[in-house]
Amino acid sequence: MHTPVYAVIGAGPMGLATARNLSKHGLAFVGYELNDDVGGLWDIDNPHSTMYDTAHLISSKRMTEFQEFPMDDAVATYPHHSELKRYFQDYARHFGLYEHYQFGTRVLSVERDGDGWRVTVEKDGEQSRRYFDGVLIASGTLHTPNMPALPGRFEGELRHARDYRDPSLFHDKRVLIVGCGNSACDMAVDAVHQAKSVDLSVRRGYYFLPKFIGGRPSDSIGGKIKLPRPLKQRLDAKLIRMIIGRPSDYGLPDPDYRLYEAHPVINSLVLHHLGHGDIVPRRDIADMQGRTVTFTDGERADYDLVLLATGYKLDYPFIDSGLLNWQGDAPNLFLNVFHPEYDTLFMMGMIEAAGLGWEGRNEQAELVALYLKRRAEGHPAAQRLARTAQQRASENLDGGYRYLKLSRMAYYVHKDSYRAEVAKQRRALQEQ
C-alpha cells in the first residue's frame, strides 16, 4: 500500500505548526526552508528576513503563543524578535521537527504531476526533483515589497522598509516615512532619536490602540462578553477616544471607516512623539522633484531619505498563480486554505485577523493534517470537505465587518467566525 508523502514549504511559525500537526497525525513529509534555521522572518540573521533590530511582537505573548507550547514567564509581554527566534527554535526541538527539514534549500517550482506534485529544489547549486502526494505552502506573506508608483522623481535616498535594519539609517537625515501601519510607526519612533527631522506621510485614517490599558496588554481586554458587532465597534471606539483621543488631535486624518474594518496600529509611542512635535504629520504625496516633496495639501519640504513603509504583496514565485485559483489580490480558497479543484494543495497561513495568533493558525494546520489523514483512509468526511471547498471557495468569513478593499485585506478574516468554521470542519472529520 502506498504511503503518501507531503512537501511543506517554509519553516516559519506557520511551517512549523504545519510540520507539527503532520507529525502528530503520523503523516510523512519533507520540509524545505531557504534559510539555515527555523523562525522565518523572526530570524533577523535570515538574509531573507524583513525584521529590524528594534522590532517586537505587536500582539501580546499570551494572545499569540501556541497553546501546547507556552512562552516562558520570563519572556516580555511583547517579546523582542530575538526572543521569538529562540521560541521557534525551542518549539522545533521539542517536537522533533528539525530532522524533517532540508535547510538552505530553495524551492524552484511546484508543478502538477498526475494526481500529485513535482517539486524542484536547489541546494548548494545542485537541483533535484521529487514527487509528492500533496504540497503545503507555508512560505509566508511578507516577502515581496509593495512599491507604489510615486509622482515625479526624488533624487535623494529612496528605500523600502524591507531594507531597514537599524536606526543608524536615519542618522543626521531629514526623513520622510510613507505609510502609517505598525512597521511605519515603529520606524518613525526609531528615527526620532537619530534624524534631523521626521515626517510621516499618511494617505488615510488609522485607528490607534495603546499596548497597555490599566497595566494589561490591550489585546487581552474584552472578548469574554460577546457583543453584537455594531455595538462592539461603537463601544470600543468610544473607549479608545476616551483614552487617547482622535487621530486628528495629533494632526492625522481620522478614519472614514469603523473600528476593526482594517488592522489597527498598536503603538503607544508614535502619538506621544506626534504630540511633542518630534514627528510631523504630512498628507499624501502629490509630487517629488529633486529632494523636494509636495503634499496634497500644498505643503512642501525637503528630505534626504524617503522610506516606503507600504507593505508587501502576496507572491509565490515557485508556482503558477493559475494553479492557486488566484482571483484579484489573492488566491480564492475555502478558509484561505483549501483549493476548490486540487484537494492536495494547501495554502498555509495566508490569513490575517486581529487576535488570531499562532494558535489560530495551529488550528488551521491541525484541520489540514486531519483532512489528509482521513483522505488517506478513504473516509467519507474527507470527501465531504473536498466538496465543501469546491462550493465555498469564494466565501468570505468577515463576520459582517466591511473590511477595506485593500490588497493586504484580501485575505483578512474575522477571528471568531474563522475559528468557529475551522472547529466545525474539524469536528466533522473526527466523526467515526
SS3 368: helix
| The predicted structure's pLDDT at residue 1 | 72
Q: What is the mean predicted confidence (pLDDT) over 218-236?
A: 84
Say if CB 309 and CB 178 are below 8 A apart.
Answer: yes
Please tell me whether the overall predicted TM-score, pTM, comes out greater than 0.85 for this model: yes
**Each residue of 351-389: pLDDT tens digit?**
999 889 999 999 999 999 999 999 999 999 999 999 999
Q: How far apart are the first and last CA of the chain?
A: 22
**Buried-state track 344-381, b at ≥16 Cβ within 10 A, e below 16:** bbbbbbbbbbbbbbbbbbbbbbbbbbbbbbbbbeebeb
| Strand pairing category for 157-160 and 153-154 | unpaired
| The predicted structure's pLDDT at residue 366 | 98
Interatomic CA distance for residues 26 and 394, integer angstroms: 31
Strand partners, 334: 338
Provide the mean pLDDT of the chain. 95
For Cα atoms 20, 359, 262, give the angle at the middle one, nearest 5 degrees.
Answer: 135
Q: Does domain 154-308 have CATH number 3.40.640.10?
A: no
| Residue 298, C-beta contacts closer than 8 angstroms, at least 6 positions apart | none
Question: Is pLDDT at 148 greater than 70 in this prediction?
Answer: yes
CATH for the stretch 5-143+312-430: 3.50.50.60
| Start-end of CATH 3.50.50.60 domains in the chain | 5-143+312-430, 154-308
**Each residue of 195-212: pLDDT tens digit?**
999 999 999 999 999 999
Give 223's pLDDT tier (boundaries 50, 70, 90): low
Interatomic CA distance for residues 289 and 200, integer angstroms: 18
| The predicted structure's pLDDT at residue 113 | 97
